[in-house]
Amino acid sequence: MAGPGDVDADGCDEVVAGAPCTPTAHYLGEGYAALYSGSAGGIPALPSWWGRGAPDGRSCHGTSVAGAGDVDGDGKVEVLVGAPEWSGPLGTEGRAAR
């Protein structure tokens, strides 16, 4: 879990949570990360965004989550999500995505 800052530029900070290697409806070890939008009333029960791991089903997406600042200059904070078991052309390579 991390507090990346104000991701959607609404004046309230968000919370991002990772659920690494959690089974999804698609794969057993896929995992996911979820972003919860902050508001004056607190954090909602349901995420405003979530993303799951690679289609190979074993990426452990969400093992690490963090705010990265405004990487692309659009005025919004980016969120990084780690997937250490992500598989690519060279085998288990790991990956971080925003």
Position 95 confidence tier, pLDDT thresholds 50, 70, 90? low
User: Radius of gyration over alpha carbons of the chain, in Å?
Assistant: 14
Predicted confidence (pLDDT) at residue 7 exceeds the cutoff of 80: yes
Mention every residue, 6+ apart, whose C-beta is less than 8 A from residue 53. 27, 29, 30, 31, 32, 59, 60, 61, 62, 83, 86
Q: Is the pTM of this model over 0.85?
A: no
**Total count of domains within the chain:** 1
- The parent domain of residue 17 ranges over 2-40+47-97
